[in-house]
Structure 1
Amino acid sequence: MAISLSGEEKKGDSLPQKKLARFAQIEQPTMAQMLSRMEQAGLIQRQQDTVDKRSSLISLCPIAVEKIDQVFEVLRQANEEVLEGFDETEKRSSSRSPAMSDRQP
């Protein structure tokens, strides 16, 4: 979810909670609980959708974007260490893994 939201956030968009739940393949109540914890931690903001008053729009707070960048840097470094000794073809095929595919260094 963070990857998807981060991508949208960089465009200045917010995403509906329902879309996030669908993307993460989790049920709405589970998503609502997770988002509540993230909101309490200061990672996200919720706003009522002006078009659909029943829907909440979710956006990342600046600290969350910073944390995501830090996490991806750690993942990138770990990936480099794991792939040490592999040839370029093997490295390219591993870069298609879900953890690294949405983010470029």
Structure 2
Amino acid sequence: MDFCNIEGVYQSFIKVIKVHHQYLHIILEKLDLYPGQPPLLFTLYKNDGLSQREIADKLHIKPATITVMLTRMEKAGLITRRQDEEDQRISRVYLTQKGREMCEELKKVMADLNEKCFGNFTEDEREIFKKLLEKMAENIEKAKDK
């Protein structure tokens, strides 16, 4: 593969990631969110009351990073932390009403972004693209394990 060739598949892949990230950042900035916050919000939306450790495990993020994210989100009024009723050493995280409303807004934003990305793809093209990305991820996972 010629990595100096700007028209190569790898360069196209990187370009898509870059423009998607830039566009998503613009959208999230308008909502006063940071890029790592939507996955955390959606995790709590589905499983409210998780411990910080459980959130870190689900998102594959270090607990210290989760602590920083939660502090920022608590200040923004999106989440609240409460001690576990059975084990006072555990802090549980819950969405506030504002956090739930933000999740609803994010669902709309993500659906719109999805439509912008794939609006002119046929269903077959979407399915093929999904399979190719999954295959790519498998290839990388296999390489990591060697």
Bin of the TM-score, shorter chain as denominator length:
0.7 to 0.9
> Which residue matches 2:44?
5
The unaligned stretches of length 5 or more in structure 1 are: 98-105
**Larger helix proportion of the pair:** 2
TM-score between the two structures when normalised by the length of structure 1: 0.76
TM-score between the two structures when normalised by the length of structure 2: 0.56
- Match for residue 109 of structure 2 among 65, 74, 88: 74
> Which residue matches 2:31?
none
Give 1:18-57 correspondences, 5 Å limit.
18-57=53-92
User: How many residues were matched structurally?
Assistant: 93
> Which residue matches 1:90?
125
Q: C-alpha displacement at 1:40, in angstroms?
A: 1.1
Distance in structure 1 (CA, Å) of the matches to 2:41 and 2:101 = 12
Distance in structure 2 (CA, Å) of the matches to 1:34 and 1:48 = 18
Give a deviation string over 1:51-98, Cα, whole Å, max 9, x none.
12111010000111111211221111121122122111223566799x
The unaligned stretches of length 5 or more in structure 2 are: 1-39, 134-146
Return the letter of the residue paired with 1:70. Answer: E
RMSD after superposition: 2.1
